[in-house]
């Protein structure tokens, strides 16, 4: 079987598998395989087509993927990681002041600090709002 056809089949399989992952990795590598197929169509040298595949895949993963991810997340308004916790409701588990405390956010216990130095959320069970995340510490304010 011709090398270009193998690269083409590999690219199609990777791009098809992207439907299951949705993280754009397999799409970029599949497009790199299309580059390998194009190189194999021009020259029968397996080394050249492998180098084209590697360079194209690295360039696509490092260059195009971050742009696409940023654009995709911006259009959906989907927040990830700690950004998704900002604005979430939490419950005080241990008294919270400007230096320390503990809150429960979505079933997980987080270390916490008060958003304002004047806030002292001493009662367990007090509802609070996550204002920001600083490292592994939730900065919280009393619920309005």
Same structural domain, 94 and 132:
yes
Tally DSSP H helices, then E strands, for the chain: 4, 5
Domain containing residue 32: 3-76
Whole-model pTM above 0.85? no
Residue 79: which pLDDT band, with cuts at 50, 70 and 90?
low
- The enclosing domain of 110 has a CATH number of 2.40.50.140
Q: What is the pLDDT of residues 17-71, one digit of tens each?
A: 988 888 889 999 999 999 999 999 999 899 999 999 999 999 999 999 999 888 8
Same structural domain, 89 and 58:
no
In the chain, the number of structural domains is 2
Same structural domain, 20 and 54:
yes
Same structural domain, 72 and 94:
no
Residues whose CB is less than 8 angstroms from the CB of residue 72 and which lie 6 or more positions away in sequence, other chains included: none
Q: What is the pLDDT of residues 115-144, one digit of tens each?
A: 888 777 777 888 999 999 988 899 999 887
Domain end call among 76, 98, 123? 76
């Amino acid at each position: 079987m011709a090398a270009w056809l193998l690269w083409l089949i590999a690219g199609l399989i990777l791009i098809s598998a992207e439907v299951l992952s949705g993280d754009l990795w397999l799409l970029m590598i599949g497009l790199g395989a299309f580059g390998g197929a194009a190189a194999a169509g021009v020259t029968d040298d397996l080394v050249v087509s492998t180098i084209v595949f590697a360079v194209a895949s690295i360039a696509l993963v490092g260059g195009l993927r971050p742009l696409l991810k940023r654009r995709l997340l911006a259009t959906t308004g989907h927040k990830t990681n700690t950004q998704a916790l900002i604005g979430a409701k939490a419950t005080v588990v241990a008294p919270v002041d400007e230096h320390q405390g503990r809150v429960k956010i979505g079933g997980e216990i987080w270390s916490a600090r008060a958003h304002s130095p004047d806030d002292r959320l001493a009662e367990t069970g007090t509802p609070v709002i996550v204002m920001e995340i600083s490292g592994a510490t939730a900065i919280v304010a009393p619920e309005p």
